[in-house]
Amino acid sequence: MLPESWDTYGSPRLQDPAQEKAAELIAVLSATEPPLPNVSPVPGGGVQFEWEINRRALEIEVLPDGSMEFLAIGEDGATAEGVLDQIHAHAPRLIRWLTSSNAAAWR
Radius of gyration of the chain (CA): 14
76-88 confidence digits (pLDDT tens)? 999 999 999 998 9
25-57 confidence digits (pLDDT tens)? 999 999 888 999 999 999 899 999 999 998 999
How is the chain split into domains, by residue range? 16-99
91-103 confidence digits (pLDDT tens)? 999 999 999 877 5
Buried b (16+ CB within 10 A) or exposed e, 3-19: eeebeeeebbebbebbb
Q: How far apart are CA 6 and CA 88, in angstroms?
A: 31
CA angle in degrees (0–180, nearest 5) for 77-83-87: 105
CATH number for the segment(s) 16-99: 3.10.450
